[in-house]
Amino acid sequence: MNHRCITGALLAGTATLAVVTGGGVPAAAHPFGPPTTARVAVDGARVDLSWQPAEDDWVALGQSLGAFEDPTTGPVTTQVTGEQKLRDSTAVQDYLRQRITVSQQGQVCRAELQPLDALLAQGARLRFDCPAPVTALDITVTALTDLNQAYRTVLRAESATPAEALFTATDGTHRVDFTRSGGRSAPAAALAVGVVAAGGLGVLLVALTRRRDRSTQ
């Protein structure tokens, strides 16, 4: 499937990507682009974390987890957008819970994945309940690094030490100290900052076309 066919399939809203690169990463992925962003806020024993990959990385993740149909093996549902397919995929939900975790003094904080109704605009949002009011946390973010080890995530934590941390395939866990903030940081609503959804996933992946076009110029 050439670039034009890939783009056409994505813009049609099917979000099916049958082509993978030699390294096994779906062709939509851009592990060498800007890092994925994440934000964390604490309030007492509660932790809110948002993880915001680029639109084409959502496609790469969904394709790798089977969230989208493969047109080479069967029919493709076009009545449902790619974003909805990601939202409803139990494989995607399980992946996020397994790859984004928080622990406190060696104890894993109970995770609740918030509804993925606006994942393109707000990212994946997880809420963690820790055993005690938060002073320090061990945060693990390894999402996407299983697709390509070049993926990175920058975590920002207001009034924490460090205020920013870089998560990589070889350094997927960082300790973040919230003592300076008194166990309270940015409100959870502030975490819902990300790209503005432009409709279905296929429409949003115009960004994919632009990135790929720039790379070939």
Q: Which two tokens stand for residue 85?
A: 């397919």
Residue 152 has pLDDT above 90, yes or no: yes
Mean pLDDT, the chain, as a whole number?
79
* pTM, rounded to two decimals: 0.75
Residue 42 has pLDDT above 90, yes or no: yes
Between 62 and 190, name the one with better pLDDT.
Answer: 62
Confidence of residue 184 (pLDDT cuts 50, 70, 90): low
User: For the chain, how many structural domains are there in total?
Assistant: 1
Residue 123 has pLDDT above 90, yes or no: yes
Question: Long-range contacts: 207-212, Cβ < 8 Å, 24+?
Answer: 207/54, 207/55, 207/56, 208/7, 208/10, 208/28, 208/55, 208/56, 208/59, 209/7, 209/11, 211/30, 211/33, 211/56, 212/3, 212/7
Sign for the CA dihedral angle at 101, 105, 110, 113 comes to negative
Confidence of residue 17 (pLDDT cuts 50, 70, 90): very low
Q: Average pLDDT of 142-161?
A: 96
Q: Average pLDDT of 116-120?
A: 93
pLDDT of 29: 55
Confidence of residue 159 (pLDDT cuts 50, 70, 90): confident
pLDDT of 36: 95
Confidence of residue 76 (pLDDT cuts 50, 70, 90): confident
Residue 22 has pLDDT above 50, yes or no: no
User: What domain range includes position 159?
Assistant: 3-216
What percent of the chain is modeled with pLDDT above 70?
Answer: 69
